Structure 1
Amino acid sequence: MFKEYKTKKNKADQGISQPQREYKRKFEEPFKDYKRIQAPEILSFIDNPVGVVEFISDLKKHYDDKKKVFVVLNDVKIITYDAIVVLLSIMVKFKANKIDFNGDFPTNQNARDILTESKFLKYLYQHFKEEERYELGQKSSIHTHAWKDVDSELGNELIKNASKTVWGDERRCQGVQRTLIELMLNTNNHADDSKKGEKHWWLSVHHDKINGKVSFAFIDFGVGVFTSLNNKRHGSKFFGILDKLKEKVKYGNNAELLKLIMDGTLHRTATGKPYHGKGLPGINKVRERNQINNLNIITNNVHANLNSNEFNILPKSFSGTFVYWELNNQNVNCYGEN
């Protein structure tokens, strides 16, 4: 019996190299009953939103079906820090709900180094349970937080550390503080009305000490901006807002609608008053005042790059809202406490 198995195995291994045999032994044979999900070669929400949204959509489908998955990262050539928070948050969701989640790692050394720095590979082999709050990574380079509530104290701590990376000492960065608070609040505002306070927001902060830059990636897996607007109930000031907006402004798709949200037109239509500076448009005002830089938003089927004023439709919809921005030494800051 053993001899017969060995003969079959030797035949199966013929014609493949030693590294391929090793890969098969470590990452294929032990996970035969897992659904293999291929990560895109460019694993970056900013640089490849189409590929990453499709990747998330595949993972979400298997999560909803409670099917265990094996994420194939082997062919990833480029991975950026904004994608790390997506990977970490999805992995924790699977593991906390006792759905097996495993994977390999990129053969590309640079991509592999970034994953290692984020501690993703370490967490891949840990157990997680459903918790109110998670803290992953290390404060010196990439640090990921998750919670279900607004946490201004966390914002203060993150800004203190970020300003040291950018300017070498502590500064006030009111734009970053405002952005963080608005996004934490929005996680509830964009949730289904019956599920407020149930969803985690995820925030990853990466310190690039060589270039004196800090990048922030925020994600919530709520319903997303447009689905949220459609779900508003009677009594909300935004109930029926899309019909009202169409009477006043012509727009063709969600990309054009997000433009109207970001410039405050939607709010003025809903309230008849000048825009009050909250939510996503308030964050755009922060960018316009040069308090943050390189603001990108992905929600449902739209990717917006606010710096270049580009709003593009995605072929697949992302269930949630993703916001990315940077802080550099050209951004407005001042001394004092946040």
Structure 2
Amino acid sequence: MKSVYPESSNRIKHVHRKFRRLEKRRDLKIARRRYSKSNWKKIEFPERVNLIEEPNFTLKFFNEAYKNYNKGHNVDFDLSNIIKFTPESIAVLAACIASKTFTNNMGSRGNLPKNFILRKVFRDSGFFEHVNLIDRKSRTTPAYGAQLLHKVTEHKVETGIAKENCRYMMNRTGFKYVDDLEPLYVILVEAMQNTNNHASADTDIGYDWWLYRYEDKSKGLVHFTFLDIGVGVFRSLSVINWIRKLTDSANITSNIDLVDDLLAGRIKSRTLRKDRGKGIPQIYDQSKDCMFKDFYILSNDVLINTKTDAKIKLKEEFHGTLYYWTMEIKNKA
């Protein structure tokens, strides 16, 4: 009797065709849900959204969106009543909506804040260059001082972007030479490189990160947000391996117990390549420089203030890693 299976030489092609058929069926189901008029869940943001000062309260809304996406729902973001939306929160919203992993390939839509000033901030930030929540006509060119970048590269650090931001801040802070801003350069380069180090073993495909620079002339500050949407520091392979090696791992009750080892550099990257930087320990050391007014690291369920060394265990979890800092303006444009 002739076998129902293809010849051994064709079995791999047979399996590949089978998986492609399954993927098409899955994509078709997602497409049907995406374009269904009744499959939208509204996320109504509160009047004030501040990820750093109110992390649990703010993350609750992002996580609600994440849960709806993963249940196969489209998400409708209602931003109409917002009167305050901090720069780092804008960057996170853009990164989440643009991430297929976060949205589960489902649809997104939304509106602009009624508040005129905040509406202008959204438009000037470059937010709509990456996220299409509303009519494309609402897209505008980012204002001077605002820069929202999304990069996906393989085994490459964008040193040109780091240098450009140093030159920009040299003119805004009164430094005479670009080299005077070495701490800023080091932080940007290490953050870019560390994005890959935080990937899990099965998603280590390159560097996928966001950088948002926003100048608030009313407060005399330039806000920087660097983030990646992914597993986060405390779910990375290097941290998992570190915990496995500890003989007193029973004393570790939460991620916050790992912070001191992380900042001190005792948790090593899973790669020992010479071209790797020092990662978070280096960022932590450089953040102590007086050119930074404040500096925070947010990953998974931990928020660290590197200026005061205060660390907070969060009830809500951030899906990724975020660095946020501000620098004072001394030279007016």
Structures share fold, TM-score greater than 0.5? yes
Output aligned runs, 1:307-318, within 5 Å.
307-318=307-318
Render the CA deviation track for 1:52-85: whole Å, top value 9, x for unaligned.
2222222223333442211011232321111111
* Matched residue type, 2:223: S
Identity among equivalent positions (%) equals 25
Output aligned runs, 1:130-279, within 5 Å.
138=142, 140-149=144-153, 150-167=157-174, 171-172=178-179, 173-198=181-206, 200-228=208-236, 231-232=237-238, 240-245=241-246, 247=248, 251-267=252-268, 278-279=278-279
**TM-score between both structures, scaled by the size of structure 2:** 0.73
Residue 115 (1) aligns with residue 116 (2): no
CA distance in 1 between counterparts of 2:314 and 2:231 reads 16
Residue 185 of structure 1: CA displacement? 1.0
Which residue is equivalent to 1:11?
none
CA pair 93-292 structure 1, distance change in 2 beyond 3 A:
same
Residue 306 of structure 1: CA displacement? 1.6
Would you say the 8 A contact 2:43–2:65 is kept in 1? yes
Render the CA deviation track for 1:22-68: whole Å, top value 9, x for unaligned.
xxxxxxxx976421012233212112211222222222233334422
Residue 48 (1) aligns with residue 57 (2): no
Which residue is equivalent to 1:125?
134
Residue 300 (1) aligns with residue 300 (2): yes
Would you say the 8 A contact 2:263–2:280 is kept in 1? yes
Output aligned runs, 1:33-112, within 5 Å.
33-93=39-99, 99-112=106-119
SS at match of 1:313: strand
SS at match of 1:174: helix
* Matched residue type, 2:308: S
CA pair 126-159 structure 1, distance change in 2 beyond 3 A:
farther
Which residue is equivalent to 2:285?
285
CA distance in 1 between counterparts of 2:183 and 2:277 reads 12
Give 5+ residue unaligned stretches, structure 1: 1-29, 128-135, 233-237, 271-275, 331-338
Q: CA-atom RMSD, angstroms?
A: 3.4
SS at match of 2:248: helix
CA distance in 2 between counterparts of 1:51 and 1:248 reads 31
Question: What is the total number of aligned residue pairs between the two structures?
Answer: 281
